[in-house]
Amino acid sequence: MLSADDLIELVRDYNPKTNARRISEAYDFACAMHDGQVRHSGEPYFSHPVAVAAILTEQRLDDATIITALLHDTIEDTKASYGEVARRFGDEVAGLVDGVTKLTNLQLSSTETKQAENFRKLFMAMSKDLRVILVKLADRLHNMRTIKAMRAEKQAQKARETMDIYAPLAGRMGMQWMREELEDLAFRVLNPEGRQSIIRRFITLQKETGDVIHRITGDMRLELDRAGIEAEVFGRAKKPYSIWRKMQEKDQGFSRLSDIYGFRILTGSEEDCYRALGAIHRRWRAVPGRFKDYISQPKSNGYRSIHTTVSGRDGKRVEVQIRTRQMHDVAETGVAAHWSYRDGVRSENPFAVDPAKWIASLTEQFDTEDDHEDFLEAVKLEMYSDQVFCFTPKGDVVKLPRGATPIDFAYAIHTRIGSACVGAKVDGIRVPLWTRLKNGQSVDIITAEGQTPQATWLDIATTGKARTAIRRALREEDRERFIRLGHELVRAALEHVGRKATDKVLDTAAKALRLDGRDTLLARLGSAELTTYEVIQAVYPELAPQRGDPVPPRRAVIGLQPGQSFERGSCCQPLPGERIIGITFRGKGVVVHAIDCVRLGDYEDQPERWIDLHWHSGSHPAVYTTTLDLTIGNDAGVLGRICTLIGDRKANISNLEFLDRKPDFFRLLIDVELRDVEQLHSLMLALEAESDIAALARHRETARASAAAAT
């Protein structure tokens, strides 16, 4: 573990004017607060915040950020309070420490809906001061470097969270080195065999070909010297995860991959970058379609560089990045370059992006999005995007992710233009709306009055902004249609029992069914989420038609082909009353899933296997198994009372399994046989009122479990 003096020396290397006394005070205060605490590895806990601070010195960050790193766990894990930190180290540091504490408390690997909410909170925290996320990323990097001390299941959870959220976030911020290391550390946990296989093949390749990097680096230096260009050349093999991802994307074996080596040329000026590009292309054959000029069109996080791929020795492809040393500083630290120091003063790097403008551009399109799932998808699309640059007819530049279409271009200009789009011209030629745009193309959007977004556009659009706007428009259009249909259904049903569908009756029914108005009631009737029987039962229970015998389980689902059998998905255990979708299987019939089941994502690219289904509206027998996850107090008679409570609600217990036994609590799974989702809600309400039940949830496969299974 670094001493306070060693840490101060690391800061002094880039900031001789650092306030050594404040850093030393923070070091001593945090050390005292964490006294007696140990990590999973048995090391003193304080070694962790010191390591986080050391990581941030590599990015040459200011004193406030270094002090925050030392204190980042004090408010959460020690007796230190926000007020005490503010009194000792000022409001700026206290605010940063509090921000990191709030980020730490976000459970980002929870269910999709909650994950979307936490993304919102994460961006809100970032918008206040981006240094909060810089400390959190360094915190995650050190935790991943020392992850072996954790339990296996905790390792997998942290690794998946790192791969899904923190690594792409680091990349989006321009900190590519951190993204690569985070991905590789997570890859080591999630797929150790795959990573080892890549490393073994690398070793074999080096034995067969010798030191390729050294030879190509020497060749490049020679060509640059001949052209009179002063530059540094560096080469490296790409990280195992980067190679693994290329193998998956291109569906190729290691032996067929060509661009597994990367080279970087650093020059003194922008002019020399283009001269160096010319020297490289004169010596080696450029690979078509693999050239990107991020100097003339920089990324939103300030990244500038020329990328090209050439055929090197023995026909091997190599990727070359060319940039100035100032551009390289931003490429290494990304948005963090705004706070970096050199020789005691804030670095005046002309390429460093304003963090406030960057985070504003990233969050702008998500501020008004109400749909959590759409928001999360949009965030992830923006995280992973690589950009292309196209032009409007007036010459304005529009930045889009790779693979974007004219639909994305239209929505990037304005939502109104996107919604009215009927066609597009690319470089003056009419093209289909599904055309993938390329760098430098001019795009002219053709609009028509009265045009509305089409459902097929969701398969065409790639940007979060476009997909969100299309979904919103389709929902509004469907809602109007469902409201009209619902009104006809309820009018006919009420006339059948001698009543009229007046506004007062509909308002009363909506209130009784806990809906937020008559339009919502009608929309749900029209979309088959609600039945007319339920409406009549809510307002005129004495007039509600009597239901006959329970629906036989074999006829419980409507929408199947004659002779087609079905079974409920074990992943989501759908119940009568829930919206459902069927997935066909050869020789197995149809598997029925709840509309929000995470497993449906596995079949997104196979729409021909989807069947629109719904449950029979009659009463159902109590034969549908549903699993409840309970944590109960370990006291005499508790389990017996819970079983009695379940029996009182006319639910039969078919299985019981203990997951965890602690001296004070038990965690168990109970399989109960139910009629429908209404009985489930009634049962869960009764159980939640039981004081001996500490936690209760419906046990269903989560997004995280599905992703882990896929891995």
- Which are the catalytic amino acids? 76-77
Chain position carrying tokens 């419980």: 556
CA angle 281/285/290 to nearest 5° reads 85
Quick one: which H or E segment has residue 20?
helix 20-33
Evaluate whether 616 touches 557 at the Cβ level (below 8 Å). Answer: yes
Radius of gyration of the chain (CA): 30
The residue written with tokens 């996850």 in the block is: 629
Residue 684: strand pairing partners: none
Let me know: does 68 contact 97? Beta carbons within 8 Å. Answer: yes
131 three-class SS? helix
Rounded Cα distance between 581 and 522, Å, is 22
Host H or E run for residue 192: helix 192-209
Question: What does each C-alpha distance from 294 to 297, 358, 439 come to in angstroms?
Answer: 5, 17, 11
Under DSSP, the state recorded for 561 is P
Q: How many helices (H) and strands (E) does the chain have?
A: 28, 22
Closest CA to 614 of 634, 592, 630: 592
Give the whole-angstrom CA distance, residue 275 versus residue 281: 10
Nearest CA-CA partner of 324 in 346, 291, 355, 302: 302
- Under 8 Å between Cβ of 265 and 224: yes
Alpha-carbon distance 504 to 324, whole Å?
72
DSSP notation for 615-679: E-SS---S-EEEEEEEEEE--TTHHHHHHHHHHHTT-EEEEEEEEEE-SSEEEEEEEEEES-HHH
